[in-house]
Structure 1
Amino acid sequence: MKILTALLLLAVAVHSADLIEHARAHADGKAAFSFDASAWDDAEATRHLPIGVFDSGIGGLTVLEALLTLDTFNNETLQPGADGVPDFAQERFIYFGDQANMPYGNYSAVNRTDYLRELILKDAVFLLGRRFWPAQGTEPLYQKAPVKAIVIACNTATAYGLEDLRKAVAAWKVPVIVIGVVEAGARGVLESKTTGGIGILATIGTCSSQVYPRTITSTLGRAGQSVPVIAQQGSPTLAGAIEGDAAFPDSVSAYALKEARSLAEAYRDSKPTAPLQTIVLGCTHYPLAKEEIDTAFAALRKEDAFRDLIAEQRTFVNPAEATARELFRELAQAKLRLKSGEVCLLDHHQFYLSVPRVEEVGIQLSGDGSLDKDYKYSRSPGHHDFEDTKNVPMSPALIPKNSAKLVRERLPAVWRSLSR
C-alpha cells in the first residue's frame, strides 16, 4: 500500500510538472491552458491588475462577498479598525466558477485526485491568462486581464492544490500572491473562543484530505489552547443541491438535515465530554445555506439522542472574512495594494464560469446538457490540447434559478456587481 501511495503521489507530481511546462512552452498565451508571463514585467503596471478568485462553482461568491464588503482596516494607515470605506474599494476582482466540473469534493471518492489537482492548476492558469470564450461563438478571445493575486475560494481546491499552485507560480517566476481558505477557517475557530466540540461540514474530498482537523489542531496548539473533539462529515450532495443541480432533486433543507445528523452521529461516536458547539462551514457553498443548516441542528436537539450532544447556541465559522483580512495584509506587504485615488485597469468586476464545450468531439452529456457524471469522473490528466469545457462570461441567466435566488438574497454586493 505504501509503495502504491508513493507511486500515485509521484504520478500527480509528474502531471503538475507537465502542465507547468505546457504553459512555459506556449509563452504567448494563445494555446489552451497557457498565459503570457510578460504581463508582470512592469512592477507598477502589476499593481493595477485585478485580483482573481476561483471556486468549483458559485459557492466561492461567499468569499467574494466578504472581499467586497470587508471594512476592518483603515485604508490610509493600514492599521486595524473600520473607517467606513470597504478595504478593497479601489480593487477589482475577476471571479471564476468551474461549474462544469463541479463538485470538486467528489473526485477523491472515485480516485481522481490527480485530475482534480490538474483542474485546480488550470483554474489558476485561466485567471493568469487573457484567454476566454464568448458566450456565443466558436473561437476564443484574448481580452481578459491577468491578475496580481489568486484567492482559492474553495476548501477542496485549497486542500489538494494550494501547494501545487504555489510551486507553479514560483516555477513560472510571476509575482502573484496565492491565498487559500483553509488556514483562514482554522483561525476563525481560534478566534471564536468557544469551549465545546468542533464539527466540520465539508465535501468528501476536503474531509478525506484531513486538512481541517490537521490545520485546526496545529493552529490551536500554536496558540497554547487545548484541542477539543473534532468530527467531520463529508457530503456528496449538499453543494450540488445548493447550486440547484438537477441531479440533486430534494430540497436543500432535506440534504442539510441528513448531513447534520451524520455529523452529530460521528461526533457522538468520538465519545465527547462537551456538546458540539462550533460548526465549520468547510465548503464555500455552505454559507449560502447557513439558515437551513442551523435549522437542521435545532431540529436534532429536539430528539432525545441529540439533546445533550448539540449546544443550544451554536457558532458557525465561515472562513471567508478571515481570507479577506489575509489578502489585505498580503497585498499591503507586497506593495501591490491600490491606494486611495488609484484605479485598477478594469472599471468593474468580471465574472466567468465554465460550461461544456458541446462542439468538442468525444465529450458525453447528460439530459440537462451538463457533463455526464460517469464521463466527468473518469477523465485522466495530461490532455492539454483537449478542451471539453470552456470559460465564458457569467451572467445571472447562467446561474441555476435556486442558486441565483440565494445569491440575490444573501450576497447583495455580489449580486449588484453581477447584474451590471
Structure 2
Amino acid sequence: MTKSFDSTSLCWSARCVLLLTGFMFFIQSPFSLTAQEGLGKVKRDAVNRLELTSDYQKARAIRQYPIGVFDSGTGGLTVLEQILELDQFDNRRQALVEKGDGRRDFAREDFIFLADQANMPYGNYPVVDKGAVLDDLIVKDASFLMGREYFTVDNHQNPLRLKAPVKAIVIACNTATAYGQLDIEQVIESAGLDIKVVGVIDAGAKGAVEVFRDGKPGSIAVVPTQGTVLSGAYPKAIQRNANLVGLDKEIPVFQQGAFGLAGSIDGAGEFVNREATSVRDEYQGPSLTHKTVRIHARILPRYGFDTQKNGLLIQGDPKIPEQVQLNSPENYIRYHLVSLMEQIRQADNAQPLRAVILGCTHFPFFETTFRAELSRLRDYQENGRYIYRDVMAEEIHLIDPAFYTARELYQSLVEDNRIRKSRNGSSQGEFYITIPCDATSPKDLTDAGGFTYEYKYGRTDGVIENDFRAVPMDHRSTSQEVLERLQQRVPNVWNLLSPSSK
C-alpha cells in the first residue's frame, strides 16, 4: 500500500563493501537469479515427500485448500494481514474496482502460515557466502506448506499428518523471493504439482513505480536486508515495471541493506538483548568499528539514537564513546535511514527522494517509526542549515509490498479458477514456527534457546533438515513479546490464531 507523510554498474560480490552497506543503483542491472542446477539433496527429498500431496491433490477440489504463506520470521504476518484486509475487487465479477465491493476479497479462504524463526534472518546467508544453505531453507519452507506433516513442542521425533496441503504459496519474504522462488517452482514441477507461487519483490516495485506516473522527477529508495541488496532483484524489478507503464526517464534507485533490523524485530540475540545494560561480546550489529556497517562518530548527533530503556548500549564517555551498540529496532531504523540519506546527499545530481520501499516484511511493524524518522531528517539542521531537505521530497511515499502482493494473489487465484466459491463459517488459520530440534547440542544454542550465530551461519547445504522442527505457534514456542506485537499490529491475524496460541 502506498502511504505517505507530508512535512509542509557495480561488481556483484559478497565482499563488495558498497553492496553490503547500500548504494545508488541506476536501474540498468544485468543481474538475474536462476534456480540451482539439478535437484540437490533437499530438493530431491522434498519431491519424494510431495508425491503423497500429488495424490491428495488429485482426489479433492483444489480450490477448497488453504493458501500458504511463509517468511523467515513473524514479519510475513504483515503480508497475511494485508491479504485478510484486502477489498479491491468486485467478488461477483472477480474484477478490480476502485473502492472494492464492501466485502473482503479473501473472506472465504483459509490460511496456513510458517515462520522460520529458528533460521532467521535470511538476509545474512548470502553475505557470509551461504547462499546454498539459504536455498535449502527456502525449499524446506515451501515443502512444509505443500506437505501434511508437522511436529509438536513435546515430540520432535514423530510427526503428525493432519495438516492440509496448500493451493498457492505466498513468499512473504523479500530475500526468499529473490533467491528461492525459482527453486520452489522447480520442486513443484518435479513433484507433478499444480501450485502457483507469488513473491513480494515485483509487487513492491509496482507500488514504487506508480508514484512516478505523474511525470515528476525523483528517486526511489529500497530498504531491504543485505541479502536482497546483493541479489539486485529490486532495481531489476523497478526497471521492468517502469518500462511496462511507459516511463522512459531513468529513475535513480538507492539501496540501504538494513543489516540487523529484521533480527532485532524478532529478538535475535546477536542483534538485541533488551535485558542487557552494557555492551555485549556476542553483538553482531552496527558499531564504531564494524567493517561494513559502521556507526560514524563524526555524525553521531544525526542518528538521533534513543538511549532510553537500554535501547543504546555505550561504553565510555557518551560524547566520545569507545563502543556503541544498537539495542532496539527503533535505533536500527534510525541508523539505516541516516545511512541512506548520507548516500543520497553525497550522490552526483541527486534527485529528491519520493518513495521508500519497505523491502523486508518485518519492517511494516515499525512503519510509524520509519515515517517519524523521515520527517525528523527532513527537518534536521546543523548550524541553521538543513542537512537533507534538498534531497527529500515534501511528500515521501512509504511502499508496503504486502498490499500489492495481496492484490496479485487474488488475480492469480482467479486466473487459475481457485477462488473458493462458498464456505460455512469464517476463515480459519493454522500458524507454525520453527524451533531448534531438542537433540541440538547446548553449545550451539543461545541462552534464549535459539541457534547461535556461529552455528546458524556455519552449516553446510544438504544437511540442515534435521536440526529444526516446525511446531504450532503458541505461547510455548513463541515469545510473549512477539505475541503482544501481533495482537497490537496485525489484529486480523490475531483473530485467526486459536485461543490456545494466545
TM more than 0.5 = yes
Q: Does 1:280 align with 2:357?
A: yes
Q: Aligned partners of 1:242 and 1:333: how far apart in 2?
A: 36
Describe the SS at the equivalent of 2:123. Answer: helix
Q: CA deviation at 1:85?
A: 1.1
Aligned equivalent of 1:371: 451
Q: Is the Cα–Cα contact under 8 Å of residues 87 and 101 in structure 2 kept in the other structure?
A: yes
**AA of the residue aligned to 2:439:** E
Equivalent residue in structure 1 for 2:145, among 127, 145, 152: 127
Identify which range, 270-279 or 70-79, moves more after superposition. Answer: 270-279
TM-score by length of 2: 0.76
Q: Does 1:23 align with 2:23?
A: no
- Provide the aligned C-alpha RMSD in A: 2.3
Unmatched 5+ residue regions in structure 1?
3-8, 29-34
Q: CA deviation at 1:137?
A: 2.1
Q: CA deviation at 1:238?
A: 0.8
Describe the SS at the equivalent of 2:74. Answer: coil
Q: Is the Cα–Cα contact under 8 Å of residues 27 and 36 in structure 1 kept in the other structure?
A: yes
Aligned pairs for 1:132-147 (under 5 A) are 132-138=150-156, 139-147=158-166
**AA of the residue aligned to 1:39:** Y
* Structure having the higher Rg: 2
Describe the SS at the equivalent of 1:235. Answer: coil
Q: Is the Cα–Cα contact under 8 Å of residues 35 and 183 in structure 2 kept in the other structure?
A: no
Q: Aligned partners of 2:35 and 2:351: how far apart in 1?
A: 43
Q: Is the Cα–Cα contact under 8 Å of residues 230 and 267 in structure 1 kept in the other structure?
A: no
**AA of the residue aligned to 1:325:** R
Q: CA deviation at 1:237?
A: 1.0
Alignment CA distance shift 1:374-1:183 (3 Å): same
Aligned pairs for 1:174-323 (under 5 A) are 174-193=193-212, 195=216, 196-225=218-247, 226-249=249-272, 250-301=327-378, 302-303=380-381, 304-323=386-405
Q: CA deviation at 1:361?
A: 5.6
Describe the SS at the equivalent of 1:87. Answer: coil
Alignment CA distance shift 1:21-1:253 (3 Å): closer
Q: Aligned partners of 1:105 and 1:50: how far apart in 2?
A: 28
Q: Residue deviations 1:101-159, cap 9 Å, x none? A: 00000101100011101110010000011111012224211111110100000000000
Equivalent residue in structure 2 for 1:169, among 188, 203, 208: 188
Q: Does 1:399 align with 2:416?
A: no
Q: Residue deviations 1:247-291, cap 9 Å, x none? A: 333122211110001111222333244211200000000111111
Q: Aligned partners of 2:85 and 2:427: how far apart in 1?
A: 18
Aligned pairs for 1:349-388 (under 5 A) are 349-360=429-440, 364-383=444-463, 386-388=465-467
Equivalent residue in structure 1 for 2:103, among 65, 70, 85: 85
Q: Does 1:342 align with 2:359?
A: no
Aligned equivalent of 2:55: 38
Q: Percent identity?
A: 37
Aligned equivalent of 1:32: none
Alignment CA distance shift 1:378-1:199 (3 Å): same
Identify which range, 289-298 or 119-128, moves more after superposition. Answer: 289-298
Q: Is the Cα–Cα contact under 8 Å of residues 435 and 471 in structure 2 kept in the other structure?
A: yes
Equivalent residue in structure 1 for 2:487, among 408, 411, 419: 408
Alignment CA distance shift 1:262-1:356 (3 Å): same
Q: CA deviation at 1:387?
A: 1.1
Q: Is the Cα–Cα contact under 8 Å of residues 436 and 450 in structure 2 kept in the other structure?
A: yes
Q: Aligned partners of 1:272 and 1:343: how far apart in 2?
A: 59
**AA of the residue aligned to 2:146:** L
Q: Aligned partners of 1:25 and 1:313: how far apart in 2?
A: 52
Describe the SS at the equivalent of 1:313. Answer: strand
Q: Is the Cα–Cα contact under 8 Å of residues 35 and 182 in structure 2 kept in the other structure?
A: no
Q: CA deviation at 1:27?
A: 5.7
Q: Residue deviations 1:279-312, cap 9 Å, x none? A: 0000000111111112222222213321212223
Question: Whose strand fraction is larger, Structure 1's or Structure 2's?
Answer: 2
Q: Aligned partners of 2:358 and 2:166: how far apart in 1?
A: 27
Alignment CA distance shift 1:136-1:347 (3 Å): farther
Q: Residue deviations 1:157-199, cap 9 Å, x none? A: 0000011111221121101111101011111112233642110
Identify which range, 296-305 or 158-167, moves more after superposition. Answer: 296-305
Describe the SS at the equivalent of 2:73. Answer: coil
Q: Aligned partners of 1:270 and 1:398: how far apart in 2?
A: 46
Q: Is the Cα–Cα contact under 8 Å of residues 354 and 389 in structure 1 kept in the other structure?
A: yes
Aligned equivalent of 1:31: none
Alignment CA distance shift 1:268-1:391 (3 Å): same
Alignment CA distance shift 1:321-1:356 (3 Å): same
Unmatched 5+ residue regions in structure 2?
1-10, 13-32, 273-326
The total of aligned residue pairs comes to 403
Q: CA deviation at 1:53?
A: 0.2
